[in-house]
Chains A and B, each alone.
Chain A
Amino acid sequence: MFAVILLPNFRLQAALRFREAMHARPVALMDGQAPKEGMLEVSDAAALAGVMRGQTSPQALARCAGLTILARSPAEEGGAQAALLEMAAALSPEIEATAEGFCTVNLQGSRVNDWQALGAGVVAGLASLRLRAQVGIGPNPDLAFLAARHARLVLVVQSPAVFLANLALHELDPAPELLAVLRDWGIHNLAQLTSLPRGDLMDRLGPEAGRLWERAAGQTERPLRRVRAAEEFSEAFDFEHEIDSAEPLLFLLRRFLDQLALRLGNACRVAGQMKLTLPLANGSAYERTFTVPSPTADVEVLFRILHTHLDGLRLDHCATGLRLHITPTHAERQQFQLFETPLRDPNRFGETLGRLAALVGIENAGVVEVLDTHRPDSIRLRPPRFHEPGSMAAPADDGLAVGLPLRRYRPPIAAQVRVVKQQPVRLESARVCGAIRAALGPYRASGGWWDADCWSTEEWDVEMEKGGLYRLARVGREWRIEGSYDEPLPEDRRGLPALAAMPSTGARA
């Protein structure tokens, strides 16, 4: 058996998928690129008001003043078509994307007893994806297609001869000239056509008439042009007006995610990455890709990631559309070591990182990565991957660190240093001034001598007469304070009130 899943008025359905308010209203769809072609598809309410395919906008509006005319959107149609193919792929690996909004499934070999229930399941599944479908099931692809066309929801062709006998001739879409000749002969339905001898018909009207006869008799067999569902989990929406606030975007994103989560669930996948695209009024587009820290199909988690980002997003131009693409992946299965403490909620952590990045800048929050150089202060922050086992693997501490840790001044502070007998004896700078009591050094380092980015520095650790330990560095002839090891409270800081009294009794010095 073969099944055909048909989405009637496919382009209009795709356009109305996320526009529930328009479902009961008269709506017509036209091609924004070729408006002269007139209306491509019209809704039932519009058809009742007299609007027909092919009418121009003025003609259609003359028939129905309250008509809403939408421009077709290939992106929206792409999302609907992908959903259709995913649903078909769940029935059988052998599917054919016969046309837009119409696919054929080879069910031969499937152990289904109740074809009606199978079709009803497909219709219900597509209804949950906001698509109205008709399913036809028959012994060959052409019969299944004819059944789908005539189905209210599901039509199973048990007896091809009975089913075909009552169909009008034009249901097979014959060439207009051939149809005219057959009508002149008084042939109006398929039963009348198949009552004629096939050979004689071909002798008089040519081979095309022979193929028409075979189709009318339900005897055509053709191989399917197999396609593989591309696992394209994307949804799109084009606004009629420019959008300058986040609320409409969030409203739609929530709906997108509801749909995409359903589709991911059907395909036994979870979201690994999300790509948000906002076409802008100036013709450009804003794009951002989000990696889901712990891949999931949980709508709440995915929505929070997008919500957090849109909360802090400022664009120079208004958005004219919305696209969301999800890269699917398999659900994570990982086992930590016995004493490993994993993140409780990696997705929440990812969201917090997003908020931190919005607060301090994306380059100022992360895990320290020491660059492969001995040049001082060669570090950068990279996004943490705490949820990935093994990402923290590193050799243990040897416990051999010497001296106080440095607190680095970023940027370093320019200084004047008096040197006597190759020892710094006095320091003058905007932050620290005074005589140097003792100094350790010099500690010399250099690198990059093989290219233009060569560097050389001479470092000293100094103790000031007034207290405080600092690191000085001489680069060329310039001195600077790189940081402090211990810094006494400055005079102005000593004035800070101690808010809670500390007990003085019982404290051992």
Chain B
Amino acid sequence: MNFPEDSSCRPGYLGDQRAKVVQLRRLLAEKFPAMQSRVGGVLRTGLADLDAAEGGLRRAALTELSTGSGTGALFIHAMLETVRRERCFAALVDAARSFEPDCPAAALARLLVVFCTDAVQAVKATDLLLRDGNVSLIMLDLQAAPPRQLQRIPANRWHRLQRLAEQTTAAAVVLTPQPMVEAAQVRITAGEGWTLAAQRRWQRDLTAAARWRVFARRSAENHLPVWEGEHATA
């Protein structure tokens, strides 16, 4: 029996394909300059680990924050302080209506909160906000959403959000209970498990104590699903 020749096994095949992909990207960038991804810099978070690793949250990129729910809430509150300090605007899309505004009014005044009934609706709302391009930080909080709802989000939605994020200068963060956003360019994790002793500590100390770890894809040119590894740790 004759098998067709498998060209993918040819030596140098992957290198050729990669070069072609890069060439195709350049061609598209020339033809459609408006669709080019913008390098929007970073949004400094005030979280030492994150800022040391990447300088802050990447703008024009989709970041996944995959942590426990307590650490996720700490991150949201830390970002509110960032928003107040940077005098920019942020949006929080809450898939489970769980946000408790137990933070200073100065930060709340710059935060657009969108309470959604389910995760799919929350993704749609994030889509609208990314298209808008007015706010500097968009947080999609899925950590309290039921798992069945999370499973209903099609994978291509994340790619769509990533493409939209690339067209803006906003930092887009998806807070998930477990890694699930394949299209994310940056993934942040943190230490798990808080005890009741945390309720007697300053919130800023808790934020500093969370072991934030940042993983990023390699450069946009070589946009392959390979994670570069850890940039910095606590």
* A-facing residues in B85-138 (Cβ within 8 Å): 86-89, 96-117, 121, 124-125, 128-129, 131-134, 136
The verdict on B74 contacting chain A, using a C-beta distance below 8 Å, is: yes
Contact with B along A405-447 (1 / 0, CB 8 A): 1111110000000000000000000000000011110000000
Knowing A368-B111, A410-B97, A499-B181, the reply to whether A349 touches B134 (Cβ < 8 A) is yes
Task: Report the Cα distance A484→B72, complex, angstroms.
Answer: 12
Of A352, A398, A439, which is within 8 A of B134 by CB? Answer: A352
* B-facing residues in A466-509 (Cβ within 8 Å): 467, 469, 483-490, 492-503, 505-509
The verdict on B23 contacting chain A, using a C-beta distance below 8 Å, is: no
With a cutoff of 8 Å between Cβ atoms, the chain A residues found around residue B77 in the complex are: 401, 405
Of A368, A407, A437, A483, which is within 8 A of B113 by CB? Answer: A368
Q: Once the chains bind, are A502 and B187 in contact (CB under 8 Å)?
A: yes
Q: Once the chains bind, are B227 and A501 in contact (CB under 8 Å)?
A: yes
Task: Report the Cα distance A484→B193, complex, angstroms.
Answer: 13
Q: Once the chains bind, are A364 and B204 in contact (CB under 8 Å)?
A: no
The verdict on A162 contacting chain B, using a C-beta distance below 8 Å, is: no
Task: Report the Cα distance A231→B211, complex, angstroms.
Answer: 62
The verdict on B22 contacting chain A, using a C-beta distance below 8 Å, is: no
Of A351, A401, A463, which is within 8 A of B195 by CB? Answer: A463
Task: Report the Cα distance A402→B77, complex, angstroms.
Answer: 12
Of A367, A407, A492, which is within 8 A of B108 by CB? Answer: A367
The verdict on A173 contacting chain B, using a C-beta distance below 8 Å, is: no
Closest to A355 in B: B128
With a cutoff of 8 Å between Cβ atoms, the chain A residues found around residue B81 in the complex are: 397
Contact with B along A365-392 (1 / 0, CB 8 A): 1111010000001010100101000011
Task: Report the Cα distance A353→B115, complex, angstroms.
Answer: 13
Closest to B233 in A: A508
Q: Once the chains bind, are A398 and B104 in contact (CB under 8 Å)?
A: yes
With a cutoff of 8 Å between Cβ atoms, the chain A residues found around residue B213 in the complex are: 507-508
Q: Once the chains bind, are B110 and A392 in contact (CB under 8 Å)?
A: yes
The stretch among A174-182, A198-206, A238-246, A336-344 that forms the contact with chain B is: A336-344
Contact with A along B45-70 (1 / 0, CB 8 A): 00000000000000000000000111
Best-buried of A339, A379, A407 by chain B (most CB within 10 Å):
A407
Q: Once the chains bind, are B114 and A364 in contact (CB under 8 Å)?
A: yes
The verdict on A400 contacting chain B, using a C-beta distance below 8 Å, is: yes
* A-facing residues in B187-201 (Cβ within 8 Å): 187, 189, 193-196, 198-201
Q: Once the chains bind, are B128 and A356 in contact (CB under 8 Å)?
A: yes
Task: Report the Cα distance A440→B179, complex, angstroms.
Answer: 33
The verdict on A24 contacting chain B, using a C-beta distance below 8 Å, is: no
Of A339, A348, A407, A485, which is within 8 A of B132 by CB? Answer: A348
The verdict on A345 contacting chain B, using a C-beta distance below 8 Å, is: yes
Task: Report the Cα distance A495→B198, complex, angstroms.
Answer: 28
* Minimum CB–CB distance for A390 against chain B, Å: 10
Q: Once the chains bind, are B227 and A397 in contact (CB under 8 Å)?
A: no
The verdict on B230 contacting chain A, using a C-beta distance below 8 Å, is: yes
Closest to B169 in A: A344
Q: Once the chains bind, are A348 and B196 in contact (CB under 8 Å)?
A: no
Closest to B76 in A: A405
Of B89, B124, B151, B203, which is within 8 A of A402 by CB? Answer: B203
The verdict on B180 contacting chain A, using a C-beta distance below 8 Å, is: yes
Of B71, B88, B108, B133, which is within 8 A of A368 by CB? Answer: B108
Q: Once the chains bind, are B147 and A496 in contact (CB under 8 Å)?
A: yes
* Minimum CB–CB distance for A382 against chain B, Å: 10
Task: Report the Cα distance A339→B87, complex, angstroms.
Answer: 7
Knowing A356-B125, A401-B203, A407-B98, the reply to whether A485 touches B194 (Cβ < 8 A) is yes
Closest to A379 in B: B101
Task: Report the Cα distance A400→B81, complex, angstroms.
Answer: 12
Closest to A381 in B: B113
Best-buried of A341, A397, A485, A507 by chain B (most CB within 10 Å):
A397
* Minimum CB–CB distance for B215 against chain A, Å: 7
With a cutoff of 8 Å between Cβ atoms, the chain B residues found around residue A462 in the complex are: 196
Secondary structure type dominating chain B contacts = mixed
Q: Once the chains bind, are B199 and A402 in contact (CB under 8 Å)?
A: yes
Interface size class of B (residues with CB under 8 A): 35 or more
The verdict on A404 contacting chain B, using a C-beta distance below 8 Å, is: yes
* Minimum CB–CB distance for A423 against chain B, Å: 13
Q: Once the chains bind, are A367 and B128 in contact (CB under 8 Å)?
A: no
The verdict on A399 contacting chain B, using a C-beta distance below 8 Å, is: yes
Q: Once the chains bind, are A500 and B98 in contact (CB under 8 Å)?
A: no
Contact with B along A3-29 (1 / 0, CB 8 A): 000000000000000000000000000
Q: Once the chains bind, are A404 and B179 in contact (CB under 8 Å)?
A: no
Of B98, B134, B143, which is within 8 A of A408 by CB? Answer: B98
* B-facing residues in A296-319 (Cβ within 8 Å): none
* Minimum CB–CB distance for B142 against chain A, Å: 11
Knowing A345-B134, A509-B211, the reply to whether A493 touches B178 (Cβ < 8 A) is yes
Of A368, A485, A507, which is within 8 A of B230 by CB? Answer: A507
* Minimum CB–CB distance for B127 against chain A, Å: 10
The verdict on B163 contacting chain A, using a C-beta distance below 8 Å, is: no
Knowing A365-B112, A395-B106, the reply to whether A407 touches B100 (Cβ < 8 A) is yes
* Minimum CB–CB distance for A387 against chain B, Å: 9
Task: Report the Cα distance A445→B106, complex, angstroms.
Answer: 25
With a cutoff of 8 Å between Cβ atoms, the chain A residues found around residue B106 in the complex are: 392, 394-397
Q: Once the chains bind, are A405 and B102 in contact (CB under 8 Å)?
A: yes
Knowing A360-B114, A486-B70, the reply to whether A403 touches B198 (Cβ < 8 A) is yes
Closest to A439 in B: B196
Q: Once the chains bind, are B73 and A396 in contact (CB under 8 Å)?
A: no
Closest to B189 in A: A502
Closest to A340 in B: B87
With a cutoff of 8 Å between Cβ atoms, the chain A residues found around residue B108 in the complex are: 367-368, 370, 394
Closest to B179 in A: A498
Q: Once the chains bind, are A397 and B112 in contact (CB under 8 Å)?
A: no
Q: Once the chains bind, are B147 and A343 in contact (CB under 8 Å)?
A: no
The verdict on A62 contacting chain B, using a C-beta distance below 8 Å, is: no
Task: Report the Cα distance A487→B213, complex, angstroms.
Answer: 20
The verdict on B3 contacting chain A, using a C-beta distance below 8 Å, is: no
- List 9 tightest A-B contacts by C-beta distance, closest first: A486-B70, A394-B106, A352-B132, A401-B203, A508-B233, A463-B196, A403-B199, A405-B73, A407-B98
| Seed contacts A367-B111, A401-B103, A485-B198; 19 additional CB < 8 Å A-B pairs | A341-B88, A345-B134, A365-B112, A366-B112, A368-B99, A370-B101, A397-B104, A399-B204, A403-B200, A404-B198, A405-B77, A439-B196, A461-B199, A463-B196, A469-B196, A485-B73, A486-B71, A502-B187, A509-B211
A–B complex contacts, Cβ < 8 Å, 17 sampled: A341-B136, A356-B128, A359-B125, A370-B105, A401-B77, A405-B100, A405-B103, A406-B100, A437-B196, A463-B195, A469-B196, A484-B70, A486-B71, A498-B178, A498-B180, A500-B182, A503-B215
